[in-house]
Structure 1
Amino acid sequence: MTKYGLRARVYTLTILPTLLIGILLATYFISNRNQQLEQFAVQQGIDVIEPLAIASEFGLARHSRERVKEVISINRRKQSSQIHSIAVFTLDNQLFVTGTYHNSLGLLQVPKGQALPTTTEVIEHDEYIIVRAPIWADSEDSFSRYTTGRPELLGYIALRMDKERALLMQFRDTTIAIFIVLLGVLLSILFAYQLVRRATRPIGKMVQVVDRIRQGRLDTRVTEKNLPGELDMLKNGINAMAKSLAEYHEEMHQSIDQATGDLRETLEQIEIQNIELDMAKREAQQAAKMKSEFLANMSHELRTPLNGVLGFARQLQKTPLNPEQRDFLQTIENSATNLLSIINDILDFSKLEAGQLNLERIAFHLLDTTEEVVTLLAQSGRDKQLELVLDVDPDVPEGIYGDPLRYQQVLTNLIGNALKFTEHGHVIVHISTQHQGLSSEKFQLHVSIHDSGIGIVQEQQEQLFQAFRQADASISRHYGGTGLGLVITRKLVQQMGGDITLDSTPGEGSTFSFTIECDIADIALGDPLPLEILAQQSVYLFEPMPATCQSLNHLAKRLKFNLISFDSLEDMLQALQTSRCSNSSVILGASIEQPSQLLIEQVAQVTQYTDNLLVGVVDHDSQSIRQLLHAGATHCLVKPLQYRKLAAQLIDHTPLKESQLPLLAANPIMSHYPIRVLAVDDNPANLKLLSTMLSARVTQVDSCNSGEQALQMVGEHHYDLILMDIQMPGMDGIRTSAVIRQTYRDFTTPIVAVTAHASAADRRRLLGEQMDDYLSKPIDEDDLLEVIHRCCPTLINKVPAMLSLTAPPSSESDNLIVVSDEPIYDWQLALMRAAKNQTLAEEMLSMLQDTLELTQIQVQQALDGELDESQLRAVIHKLHGGCAYTGAVAIQRLAALIETQLTEQQRAEQLEPELLELLDGIEQLKNYDRAPPWR
């Protein structure tokens, strides 16, 4: 590349200047020569015509054509090669005589209307030249000169001269000039070639030498002799470089040999260490496998008796007991619940360590989800005389995308820790946003939990996030716990894309904070709030606790109402008296240390100035609430105040009646509600269990197994409630509900969706498609009772109220966690799902086993490619629903997992391991002995 570039530069710098100079010189001399030839021709014509004009004077004056023609002919013969034609014209511009006749004689004549020439004039054309000269009567014997004394114009003579000779001479000169230029260029090329040849050949050989040196042939040298100065210096430099490289290469080989020997010894040692590490790794993997198997086995072995302890303890509480026995049972239930929580923590930690805990990404209502946790844990704070405060900034979005269950688990761990290690004071949960980005849909959610507890020294803070470790060894003895809660919390927060921090001072309290990346949900979540009505309200507030006052101020900005807070009750009473606005609402907060009698007196004072007094009480004590209502309170809200209840009570000024207060009784009074219910399900076992559970609660139950039958029965009877299965062959539940509402325009009966899909997204979708409520499988008696209360409140109020204590609803996470090594059938669970009816449990198992043969065939067809994903999903959904009312927990959860993956557009071949496992489980369940353990 360098050689080619040098040659091109030499040729360019040598030839191009010569060519340009030659062209410029040739152009200059050729143009100059052409001008000289044209001027010469014109001058020659003038030199010819002027003597002829003088010679023609005598003949023209005497009108002697022969004399003039003779003069013209003599001159034309002398200049015949140049003169084309000659003519003499009279004073009246008429031809007098011509040397020879030509067709172009008209060119010699002066055009009409133009004056005759009085001096010699020249007219040039491209191919010829016309010269005209006047003929004067200027001789001494002329008549005019004799009479007037001045010469007389007799006429004019004109000749035409061709340019052929001049053009030939121009062409000859141009050709000579071009030849000279080409000769100069040729000589330049020859000189440049000689220069390039003498310069590039040594350089090319030097390049070859350098290439050989690059290939490792360090003994190569440049041997050219008699090189010019710079090339000779380059040759010496290359030879010196090759010599230095050879010496360095020799030294390097010696160093490499030495290093290779050392490396060989090191590799031998590393190989021995690798063998030892491999053996240690296998032992560690085996130990980890044994640990996982141990945890799975212990999970099953511990959960089974614990579920029995919890279940029978709750059942025993429904029987007549004396206070001491009831206290013992409550202690047993609390202890079993705590033990179950510890087991769940250990399992979660094991899953996090193994990387098998996957997070969901669904839209959920952030405020409602947070309030659920705070409300659930508030009672623990009240038991320790602690006030739990939830403070949410107004700019925090209501709906976000994430995993609500794991978010609640993080909050539960952190708030539970704060309550556990705080003896007096408060726990404040503050939620805000940080670092709003360019995108309006992305933000950072910052949650901090501050307590006034014992605090932690700096050296012990890092131990909190280590497994089975606490800040002080005595803490576990005093407060209890395994030390896994914060470890699980930190790993969950990290999986959510955030991190957790701790700021603590011994004796002053601690603040746990975590920040996670969130996306704002683009769909409406929760019931809309009456913000327009609230914006017209003014609310007076007296709250003795500053943190609660600040949270209510933030809540007021979110709900758009005007909140006026006061530092003392006297200031608020004076403001109320001054305003005299009885329709303004008042919020009166109570502190934990405040005596109940003092609060009652404050209520009585404020009541005379407002018709809507909301009292924020610390504990949900029925007796205290009755006293406050008698004193004039409109409503009593348990702190921390829930924003939806607060918004409803600010609008509704109707006082709460004493009959609406919750009653407690040791022995529940069971009542049959006077309502008629229609149960629709295509699975016979599900339909039978649903009918049995409804029969224990309502006066009349009808059932059918298809959407078509449901349409017929709705047309024949009036129903107060319809429980509709969603996935049915033919007309599914959604389509059936839509047809019912289209057919009967005044149809007002609530329709409740019954399905095994329990996610929040499925719940929102079903509630938006002609459904009034939602009930997930397996159906719990308490959940069923709540649905009846929500959908038929008017009819239920006609009979004595249900006075039973219902257990809190189970967490959705219980339906999502799959536990390995489960029994193929759990009779205790089957009995619970059959409402303690042993005969019904046996019948449901028998009905399920009768359908397994067809299910097994259809699953095998899907594995063989004979069933598509939609058909397989229908089969799995039916199996899932059939298992939901029995004790086939393992198959139920495996079917739920497969159905979820099919819903997410997974292919059947991708689910081959799960389907094969499902076939094994079906085979075991087919051969399972139907005799329950109690026989």
Structure 2
Amino acid sequence: MIARAIGRLALLALLPLSLATAAALFAATTERLHEAKQTFHLHNAALADLFARMAERALLAGDQASLRALARELVADGDIERVTLHNANGGTLLHERRPLRATRGSGDGSPPLVIERDLSAGPTEGAMPAGMRMRVEVSTQRLDAARDAIVHEGLLLAGLSLLALLLGVAGTLHAVGRPLHRTLRRLAQATSLPLARRDAWQALEGGVNELVRTRQTQRDAVPTHDEAAIAELRATVEDLELRNARLDLARRQAEQTTRFKSEFLANMSHEIRTPLNGVLGFIELLGKTPLDPTQQGYLNTVGASAQNLTVLLNDILDFSRIEAGKLDLVRRPFDLREVLDNAVRLFAPAARVKGLSLVLDVAPEVPAELIGDSARLVQIVSNLVSNAVKFTDRGSVEVAVGVRSGTEAGPRLLLDFTVRDTGIGIAPQDQRRLFDAFDQLHAAPSRRQGGSGLGLAICQRLIRMMEGEIAVESSPGCGTTFVFSLLFERLPSTRETLRAPGALQVLAVCGDAALLNALGHILALRGIVLSACERLAEAVATIERLPATLPVLVFVDLHGLEDSAGALAERIRSVPPAAARRWVLIGDDDADATLRPAIAPGVERLERPPLSREVLSLVDAMPAASAVPVEADEAGAPGTGMRVLLADDNLINRQLARIFLTQLGAVVDEVADGAQAVAAGGRQGYDLILLDLHMPVLDGLAAARQLRDGGPNRDTPIVALSGDAEPVDPRAQRAAGIDRHLRKPITGDALREVLGWSRPSAADEQRPQAAPATTPQLPPPATLP
């Protein structure tokens, strides 16, 4: 059945294709035959015309020999077999025929092609006698051969085309037949029709019709099923809409509940705080009455518990106000150093009990007075320092403050605060939820310390309200560092007290690098450079080399000091007495109580961390401290308004130069190698560039050459710094683009002179090439570690 159907389908497909192919081939063959015949006739006619013109000239000239030669040449090659010239009387003037070749026309029935021309009607009409004619007979043998070849090619092409059609149709029908066979077989299985005995196409039609009827019957048999499904779907949609409405209502109720909860917590915190303040007040009054040691211990415990409850209530109150959007920031002037001194000093007793080094380090370029919410700043710092002390059993806790680069000169500046400890650290998986409210880390030390879990959440929200951000870096066992930024407004320039250069020598016997930096930054506010000594003997030797009239202030850190109390007292007494010399011991009450009886009067004591106002008071009280009030931003400071790029790989050298430059009114950007200097110089222009000659990655000469190649600092004055014993080749420096050279150790006077020399003048005058500046030879203080 399927074979017959496919055969009929093949016949129907092949017949029109074959007819179309045959018609196309016939048309193409006919066209080629016509072109061959036409080409043949035109070619021989052209030869006959050419001979006629040449024969006319020969006859006129009477040159019979040339005429016969032309005739023989004409019949020698090609298809022309015979040439005859007749006069007007019918006589023959010339007759040439192809020798030794039988002409066509008698044997195969194909007559030759005859071409006749009237010579008297040529271009020289009248010259030839009338009736002169030429007859040319052309053999059609080559034309017949070409016609036969064209016909044979057409028949061959027709056969090949027919074969290709047969193969294509066969392949197509095979591809159609197999799916048709499978379709019919499946129809036979799906229907009850006897498809095997029917025509294939009728069977296909019948099977499809049967399937349609079956489907329609099924659809008509269960009309209620679709209606039920639609009704169920409609009910589901309605249920979803109802649930969404309930969820929206529940969300609104939850938001309202949260708002009510915050308001309730705020109100209750206020209500509880009132009696708690009374409790704290009477605890203080009770502490002033006579109590025995047991009663005093009980009272101290009650007071500590009340203080902890106060902190908890403050956290709950602040968090509730923040969540309710009712916490407003108060912007008013405040002294930043005094605020931070008071905040950090509160944790000194707890740090002293655990043997921790607590340090506050405020960079000298940080303004003294700002405008902002000092109470919230204290709250943030206190919370972070409290956590640092709480979770650190040994080591140190450091609080550092600096100005974000790029905000030094504007009306608003961004301060970067860093609280760093050497405590237990925080695991990475716990850092993600560190700022979540009411959440404590479940590590044993965290739970042992207790707390509400609100402190860091409040800090994060307050910092964001003050247009800042907070981040944490930590790993278990390696300590934790919190870094946050806050935006403040700058107060107009205030009067700062600066000592005359060289009016006071300050030494520090300290092995704590953080404390050394903090003391150095405090003293920089008075224009004083701190000299560090690793051992007390080194400080004593330095003092003995100084003139007796030079005021000397010596800070001795008792934390980690190798000398015993007796040895320390003996060394201090060994220094020749002078009215202008003063010793300051930095330590706790116990150490001071041990040392004070053994030391002569005049020895001062400071608790850790030393406060800015305490250190500055000691400096101002020195006998030779002839301080004069000057405007920090006046034109008298040679570096006012100047931006300086300082490149040195030694941190202590950078710190020393930065302090000098900051005191002279300049804004300083620091980098640690020549490559960083080139990168910084490519970003912005500077008024002065200081380059150490010996730096890693890129030395000073190479960095200067790259800075001179182009960019904003192509014409900026560049001063080289070095401590080389041998003079540096000035030609190499000039070739690299370096204008001047300073030899270490660098002094404030040398930098003051360089700033004045490099300051751009209003007339943009050419700077003279000054000789390399040298620094005064003072008694060499010890270098900071």
- After TM superposition, the score normalised by the length of structure 2 is 0.46
